[in-house]
Structure 1
Amino acid sequence: MEIYSFIDPLCPDCWGLEPMIKKLQLEYGHTFRIRHLVGGNIKTFNSFKRKNEGITTHADVAERWERTASRSGMSCDGDLWYEDPMDTPYIASIAIKAAELQGKLPGFNFLRKMRELLFIQKQNMTKEENLIQAAKETGLDVHEFKKDLHSQAAVKAFQCDLKISSEMEVNELPTLVFFNENIEEEGLKITGLYEYEVYVRILTEMLKTKPTPEPLPSLDAFMDRYHFVATKEVAVVYDMSCEEADAAMKKLALKQKVEKVPAKHGSFWRTVKNG
């Protein structure tokens, strides 16, 4: 099976989908491959600039970020829109495609790092220097990344994503499209954020059999794999409340394996080097 995940790199709702994607990959990753595509259309990419038409003001976007963070549990700090408002997400989208030219996993890790810098640290990810910093922190070949950021290959990959997005009539983000092995069958499209069970039901429907979930890793192994996670991600993956997840992570912190990183909404945890 294949899952197409259509996202906008600057979209807080897309960021809010991360806990579900993590749990799906851990439990059912043996049944599917996931592919991240930049969704939307050119009108979407220009909407940030259309303040005078009453469509979007920086205050509106800031308020939406705060509301989304409260609802999803994945922190995003709307103050960025007052301190260093962003332009079109075009360059951030090209950056994802530039990172993917170094491989699927480096591209995936770059997207995650870019979102951490954006939503938690309030770094404007429409500025090239911040994208380069994300590439460094991801461990990409920075020289290649800088070159690819201005390459036709990255632009073409981005245009290809938009074309697929248009063909599949993806008008809202985030959107997941599930495909099974039968190329004759249409994909099953789901837009927005849902409870985890909904995604499992769709997997079952597309596979025409209930897949057997893999056992979840220990919390230690989970942190060794991801290195930096939200309390909300721990809660979703391990079917805990955020309070229970926080208590479990505090136990790891006492063993000096992780350290807490406060955020505007909720908190995150980072593995301690040599911990």
Structure 2
Amino acid sequence: MSWDRKGLTGSSSTKTDTSSTYSYFDVMQKPLEMYVFVDPLCAECWSLEPYLKKLSLEYGRFFTIRPVLSNYLMPMTNEKFKTPRKLKEIWEKTAKRTGMSCDGNLWLEKPFISPWITPLAIKAAELQGKKAGRVFLRKVQEYLFLHNADVTDEEVLLQCGRDSKLDLYEFQNDLNSTSAKKALQADIKLTKEMEVDYIPTIVFFNQRIDEQGIKISGLYPYEIYVKVLCEVLQKHPIPSEKPSLEDFLAFYGIVASKEVSVVYDWSIAKAEKELKKLQLRQIVEKIPAKYGCFWKYLA
């Protein structure tokens, strides 16, 4: 997939980090906004996670992330991709290509009957705050891609809510609420307005400059995301220092070897070597997956 540029005018040259374009208070207000169009049931959206983590760690001081649920773009809604066998094939190819594990056999063993309940649950979680919504979205993805759980089942979603430390009483009330349905419809409307026709897609906006954003559809090497971020920011910021591996795991809870590899610029072999050192110290627990491994921090 090629990446689209929309509405940028004038020179595309960027300033150095010594530029006074952004003051301390501008950074505190986070001048950029990233709209991330995803579907929680999409394997390719799951594969975007390592790059989002690295962007957040290195440049998160400059942007806020706004997840936008775009389930109607999911292959299961496209007639030629609708069969469970075809969806299994898509998942398996994506896992092998990206290193973010998922098991395509799920589509043959227990295909989803009501996929819309999952995004509704995510919007219900967001009613408890943006951070709560993001944590819940990640937990849903973990249950789906690591454990082959049916995340369209209300009991599974409630367990995701417990693990995400949501107020379960409020969450259960909001699951089928008008507020959650309106929020999901707003996401679908935004997807159409921004002419997003493929997931995952990221649209970068500079809130201080009256220009349209830059849209990137599909998965790309990390350097492409940084290049676009710098162009929208109009400067080349110095990346923030990364946390220790132990602190990284403590913050995220469960991460893939692939995520560690991307974030720390290590090979998979190097990442797993460092993770096994923490395993020997009983700091992490290894979670085998069909493709690669995941690691759970033991608080």
In structure 2, relative to structure 1, the CA distance for the partners of 1:94 and 1:183 (3 Å cut) is farther
Report the CA distance between 1:126 and its aligned residue.
1.4
Aligned to 1:105: 131
In the alignment, is residue 259 of structure 1 matched against residue 290 of structure 2? Answer: no
Report the CA distance between 1:184 and its aligned residue.
2.2
- Residue type matched to 1:154 in 2? A
Aligned to 1:248: 274
Report the CA distance between 1:227 and its aligned residue.
1.2
1:141-170 residue CA offsets vs partner (Å, 9 max, x unmatched): 111111100100000000000111000000
- Residue type matched to 1:24 in 2? L
CA contact (8 A) 1:9 1:111 kept: yes
Aligned to 2:27: none
Structure showing greater relative contact order (alpha-carbon pairs closer than 8 Å, 6 or more residues apart)? 2
1:62-98 residue CA offsets vs partner (Å, 9 max, x unmatched): 1111110111111011111111111343111111100
In the alignment, is residue 38 of structure 1 matched against residue 38 of structure 2? Answer: no
Aligned to 2:141: 115
**Structure 2: distance between partners of 1:124 and 1:89:** 10
Please show how residues 122-161 of structure 1 align to structure 2 within 5 Å: 122-161=148-187
In the alignment, is residue 48 of structure 1 matched against residue 73 of structure 2? Answer: no
CA contact (8 A) 2:132 2:164 kept: yes
In structure 2, relative to structure 1, the CA distance for the partners of 1:54 and 1:167 (3 Å cut) is closer
- From 10, 14, 25, the counterpart of 2:41: 10
| SS of residue in 2 equivalent to 1:209 | coil
- Residue type matched to 1:161 in 2? D
| SS of residue in 2 equivalent to 1:29 | helix
CA contact (8 A) 2:69 2:188 kept: yes
Please show how residues 83-102 of structure 1 align to structure 2 within 5 Å: 83-102=109-128
| SS of residue in 2 equivalent to 1:129 | helix
Aligned to 1:170: 196
CA contact (8 A) 2:121 2:157 kept: yes
Q: TM-score, normalised by structure 1?
A: 0.94
Cα RMSD of the aligned pairs, angstroms, is 1.4
CA contact (8 A) 1:14 1:173 kept: yes
Moved over 3 A (4+): 47-50
- Residue type matched to 1:19 in 2? P
- From 249, 258, 261, the counterpart of 1:235: 261
**Structure 2: distance between partners of 1:213 and 1:121:** 34
**Structure 2: distance between partners of 1:5 and 1:263:** 26
Gaps of at least 5 residues in structure 2 are 1-31
CA contact (8 A) 1:176 1:189 kept: yes
CA contact (8 A) 1:48 1:88 kept: no
Q: TM-score, normalised by structure 2?
A: 0.87
% same residue: 50
Aligned to 1:78: 104
Aligned to 2:13: none
Gaps of at least 5 residues in structure 1 are none
CA contact (8 A) 1:179 1:206 kept: yes
